[in-house]
Chain A
Amino acid sequence: MQVIKGRVWTFGDDIDTDVIIPARYLNTTDPSELAAHCMEDADPRFAGKVSAGDVIVAGRNFGCGSSREHAPLAIKAAGISCVIAESFARIFYRNAINIGLPILESAEASSCLKEGDMVEIDLARGEIKDITGGRRFTAAAFPPFMQEIMRCGGLINYTREKVKNGD
């Protein structure tokens, strides 16, 4: 897995999927259209400010609420390379892994990293290096079969391989 380097954008606790991508934009599945409205109801200028490779750092229960996969799709298509949070709501957690949006759970990184910090992330090791503050954080490891889904680039590729192998 690749090493990520980007600037941190911070959000608080309980960021819900209505805020990540409001329902008024759910009449499309086009990732680029969704990306243009990513996080709009939390920060209307977010989509215009973010650069490819940037990282979202949030508090508890990120992605709570609706099951809309448009939420991680919008984040991924906006150029966000990884979401770090103290914890994730369970449907968002599944969706992010399934579509190949890297996520990491680290309470320490969530509370220490500040907006504008530069971070370098080694996804395979779950290591988060705070370049600005000179600290390191380690995220919880994923179970092996989830790592396998991520290695395949998401659930669809993983399932295609399984179907092909007759599992």
Chain B
Amino acid sequence: MQQTMAEKILARAAAKKSVAPGELISARVDMALGNDITAPVAIQEFAKIGVEAVFDRERIALIPDHFTPSKDIKTAQQVQLMRQFARKHGIAHYYEVGRMGIEHALLPELGLVLPGDVVIGADSHTCTYGALGAFATGVGSTDLAAVMATGEIWFKVPPTVRLVFEGHPRPWVSGKDFILYAIGQLGVDGARYTALEFTGPAIENLDMDGRFTVSNMAIEAGAKVGLIPPDEVTGRYLQGRARRPYQFITGDDGAPVQEEHRWDVSELEPQVACPFSPANTRPVSEVAGTPLDQVVIGSCTNGRIEDLRQAARFLEGKKVHPRVRLIVIPATQAVYLQALREGLLEIFTLAEAAVSTPTCGPCLGGHMGILAEEETALATTNRNFVGRMGHPKSKVYLAGPAVAAASAVAGCIAPPEETVEVS
């Protein structure tokens, strides 16, 4: 029986020859992750299980990234709890301010999540690592606690929904536009409990940063994972980076899938998700002119070097509109340093943008750019629910870095084509 990529990865982790959708399995975990919101609960629950040590100190990552550098005393206490736990148990991958980054940018960058892995994270955007061909999925704190103790987790094997992206996109159309379009087509629960598999020439032509963006938002359609079959692009990315041996696992030809959608992205416009749902997606031309108070470029979705390069192309020699606050947040220290060396941070600063140290910050309404009542933001982040970035009566539009940068200059939502000529 032919199996999909998701089934083959899970079969291996469950030490079985094959698995089928709907089957309940216990899988061995290659990497488990928690952050400053979810790890403190996991640490409290871990203590109740009654084991002395974690299952493997090399296979746990604890990353304080959501409210750090600690925004208040309570946050500082939470991070202190993580730090003490990490020291006590010798957790190999605990990263402090100054060395850290947003978890889903940092773990791939450090070569800690690899093709064929089963990764669980107490953070819903753990699905990001699907871009490397890992079965990576978000869970809660109690699941993380049990995995820290046992190294195993139960899964229901998901059916696969394949999304095939065909054609050659227009300039300024990126991974963010593909995934926003897909979520708009599927709806926020259109892929609930399924393994999304992103394939086709337009996905193959994306660099790794673009692929991470695509997989990152699989959860926004309700999916368990967002897999991209590993290829030469994946292999190049992992060169000199991978910390363990790994194996590419791809699906068998002819493996049955639950659904397949084919979309030609040749004529796709840059996409914008309007309040209050990531599935409320429109072509940018339909919402152009919407006035903005704030623009945020960053997050686990779009805070990588290619995202910053794209934004900088629009901001070079320009000023952010006087009514707009532009906040740029490189996702990791390495991205920050690279942007510094390439002169991107100078471009942003001269354009009168604020550049922040890595943090999830405003994406979830944590800190570093909270919205007031009736304010509107456009962000390269992943969610635009009620109150997501601050006041319950504020609004968030989601888009890619090109639309974000063009809009910051225009003072309102703007198609990138109108502001910068394609070089």
Interface residues of A (CB under 8 A from B): 14, 16, 18-19, 22-24, 26-29, 41-42, 60-61, 64-70, 72-73, 87, 89-91, 94-95, 98-99, 143, 145, 154-156, 159-160, 162-164
Contact = CB atoms under 8 A, between A and B. Distances in A.
A127 B66 CA distance: 41
- 6 tightest A-B CB contacts, nearest first: A95-B140, A27-B74, A61-B189, A69-B140, A98-B142, A67-B124
B174 interface: no
Contacts of A99: 140, 142
B75 A64 contact: no
A23 B396 CA distance: 15
Interface stretch (B229-237, B242-250, B383-391): B383-391
A90 B364 contact: no
- In which size bucket is the chain B interface? 35 or more
B123 interface: yes
Contacts of A69: 38, 41, 122, 140-142
Interface in B8-45: 24, 37-38, 40-41, 44-45
Interface of B: 24, 37-38, 40-41, 44-45, 48-51, 66-67, 71-72, 74-75, 78, 121-124, 126, 138-143, 145-146, 149-150, 154, 188-189, 192-193, 219, 222, 224, 277, 364-366, 383, 385-388, 392
B189 A14 contact: yes
A22 B365 contact: yes
B139 A94 contact: yes
25 contacts: A14-B277, A19-B386, A22-B387, A23-B364, A26-B37, A26-B366, A27-B78, A28-B78, A41-B392, A42-B386, A61-B192, A68-B38, A69-B141, A87-B192, A94-B139, A95-B143, A98-B146, A99-B142, A155-B143, A156-B145, A156-B146, A159-B49, A159-B145, A159-B150, A163-B149
Contacts of A73: 41
A40 B366 CA distance: 16
B29 to A, nearest CB: 14
A19 to B, nearest CB: 6
A23 B138 CA distance: 17
Given A42-B386, A163-B49, 19 more contacts: A23-B365, A27-B71, A27-B74, A28-B78, A29-B78, A41-B386, A61-B188, A64-B188, A65-B385, A67-B122, A68-B37, A69-B142, A70-B37, A91-B140, A95-B139, A98-B146, A156-B142, A159-B49, A160-B49
